[in-house]
Amino acid sequence: MFTTIIVKPIFNLLVLIYALLPGHNFGLALIIFTVVVRLLLWPLVRKQLHQAKAMKDLQPEIKRIKKEANKDRAKESQMLMELYKERGINPFSTFPTLIIQLIVLIGLYSGLRKVISNPNALVTFAYPGLQHLGWMKQLSHNIHLFDDTLFGIVKLNKSALTNGIYWPAMIIVLGSAVAQYFQSKQLIPQEKDQRGLRQILKEAGKGEQADQAEVNAAVGRSTRFFLPVMIFLFTVNLASALSLYWLAGGVVAYIQQSFILRKDETEMESIADKPTKDTTKIPEAEIVSKPIKNTPPKTKKAKRRKKK
């Protein structure tokens, strides 16, 4: 069921791009496939980035709440939940996007593994409709026409550690790790008085109570180093096709994040610069306040005289 619902659709989208691409370069097809997937996920990615940006902007408010709560965990949690509700933020809203990206990665890996072990799977594992395309017919008669490289430079079926170091693939692996580092760093809030996780744990060992929110923030900052290292260790022994997908995805994600963050800043600046009311279109009587006459209030005797 997983193969039918997940692996085959993902793999056949890649095959379709490869079969229709002029030159039929598998590496270029994989890059285009990555861009297409990121564009299809754009609504979810945009929502995820807005939430991440909102969480980043809330750091001063969170710091204020921590100070007001005065180490009262229950009060601090309640105030944080109220703040999230007020600003319309769901801290767990990023999980659907991450799960979908993980499913795509697993499906792509399963499909690529079939092609790496047997290049004929490029044709046999494709949908019947794709098998009738002109280039796919040629491959079915002569599979040696299949170009499994990136512009003839990198063999995508080889890993970075194949009988030593295969440097073309190693460069892609390192590039994917670097792209992940900058992608993570872009969304991590930076504060002037922030403490590192090592310093927090060191002071906690001396008896000082550690602030859980500060610990969470420090752990979040450490992920900008942890994730690239994990990606490097995970992909260095896999076929470089998967590293190429991760590299292309990281570059596209960085561009998308830059666009969203820059757009948010532009919108906030335009709102701040916009006057609350256009005084040029308001009549003069509405702008100039009416002078107040300091006349004494009428007494009851004055009212009686007026009636007479």
Position 97 scores a pLDDT of 76
CB 30 within 8 A of CB 245: yes
The predicted-structure confidence for 39-78, as pLDDT tens digits, reads as follows 888 887 777 777 767 776 777 787 788 777 776 777 777 8
Position 253 scores a pLDDT of 87
The predicted-structure confidence for 103-131, as pLDDT tens digits, reads as follows 888 888 888 888 888 889 999 999 999 99
Position 208 scores a pLDDT of 56
Position 271 scores a pLDDT of 43
User: Whole-model pTM?
Assistant: 0.70
3-state SS class at 17: helix
Position 200 scores a pLDDT of 54
Q: Helix 59-69 crosses helix 73-87 at what angle (to 10 degrees)?
A: 150
* Residue 275 DSSP one-character state: -
Position 212 scores a pLDDT of 52
Q: Note the helical H segments in 41-143.
A: 42-57, 59-69, 73-87, 95-117, 121-124, 128-131, 134-141
CB 26 within 8 A of CB 146: yes
Report the percentage of the chain scoring pLDDT > 70.
Answer: 71
Alpha carbon 34 to its chain centroid, in Å, reads 15
Weakest mean pLDDT among 51-65, 181-195, 201-215, 236-250: 201-215
Tokens of 305: 């005289």
pLDDT band for position 296 (cuts 50, 70, 90):
low
Spatial separation of the C-alpha atoms in residues 294 and 155, rounded to whole Å: 92
Contacts of residue 288, Cβ cutoff 8 Å, sequence gap at least 6: none
| Exposed e or buried b per residue across 143-158, where buried means at least 16 C-beta atoms within 10 angstroms of its C-beta | eeebbbbbeeebbbbb
The predicted-structure confidence for 267-293, as pLDDT tens digits, reads as follows 544 544 444 444 444 444 444 444 444
The predicted-structure confidence for 159-183, as pLDDT tens digits, reads as follows 998 788 999 999 999 999 999 888 8
Strand partners, 159: 239
3-state SS class at 25: strand
Q: Which of 35-49, 79-93, 256-270 has the highest mean pLDDT?
A: 35-49
